[in-house]
Amino acid sequence: MTTRERQRPLLQDHAELRRRRLLAGMSQAALARQAGIGVSHASLIESGRRSAGVELLGRLAGVLGCEVGDLMAPEALQGVSRP
């Protein structure tokens, strides 16, 4: 995967990111710290005002204990087979 592919924004399910964070009992600050980003960046992603690339989505999913696809909008997964 190229740097450009890792950084390319994906269609994310912002509400799902927030839902999973809250289910994990985490604050935005805790999520941001563990994912290696700033709190304001995490807030912008969660609110849908900024998108995350593949690499960052992977880190967020890892922190939340889910798969990257779980944080993506259904239309982003069209044609992708899931295990």
Can you tell me whether residue 71 is helix, strand or coil?
helix
Residue range 11-51, pLDDT digits in tens: 678 889 999 999 999 999 999 999 999 999 999 999 989 98
Closest CA to 63 of 25, 15, 31: 31
CATH number of 15-69: 1.10.260.40
Residue 8's pLDDT is: 47
Note the pLDDT tens digit of each residue in 32-43. 999 999 999 999
Q: What is the pLDDT of residue 11?
A: 61
Cβ contact 60:71 at 8 Å: yes
